[in-house]
Amino acid sequence: MESVKQRFCELSTLVAGVHQIFDQLCGDSGGYACLDEDTFYRAKLAAHEWAANLVQHASFDNRKPEVDVDVWPNGNKIECVFEDNSDGFDLDSILEQRSNGLSPLPERGMGLLMLSACTSELSYEKTEGGIYRLRFSVHSEADPWLNIPF
């Protein structure tokens, strides 16, 4: 199956657009013919959390936002790439801080941890072209969980 990709130049349309990409992926495969349902929803959740992070927190300085999203099934996993022209941030540091510092029943701060828990082969880097690229896979065999303090 081919990938589903789309460019977004308005952040206000990003989240709904990402959902549409996954809906299209689901439709093209005749339901979940080549993907199990939970893997699909974990991938959609991970993509949603990243899109939400871009909408709520990313700095684009005075540039017009450009976000490219590419999603494709690959055997027993779903692969996803986000590329954007934001200023980026230190994802590893934030993840480490959040991992060690969540309050009991937290109201905020779970998003990137949920993204990390759902995914494997998660990478975030600045390319030679100056754009930031998040790439991740969601595997059907994975047993993800997030240790929220209760």
Partner 1 sequence: MSFTVEPCNQETVIVRIGKALDFRNAAEFKSTCQTQVRSGARNFILDFSETGILDSTGLGSIFSLYRQVSPLEGQVVFAAVSRPVQVVVQLTRTYKVFRQFPSVEAAEEALL
Structure tokens at 127: 């390319």
- Minimum separation from the CB atom of position 146 to partner 1 (A): 5
Round to whole Å and give the CA distance between 38 and 144: 11
Least separation in angstroms between CB 133 and partner 1: 22
Q: Give the distance from CA 15 to its chain's centroid.
A: 11
Distance CA 150, CA 117 (A): 18
Helix (H, G, I), strand (E, B) or coil at 88: coil
Binding site for partner 1 (CB under 8 A): 15, 19, 37-38, 41-42, 44-45, 48-49, 52, 55-56, 105-111, 113-114, 117-118, 144-148, 150
Q: Which residue, 42 or 77, is less far from partner 1 as judged by CB?
A: 42
Neighbours of 1 (CB within 10 A): 12
Which C-beta is closer to partner 1: that of 19 or that of 135?
19
CB of 23 to partner 1, least distance (A): 9
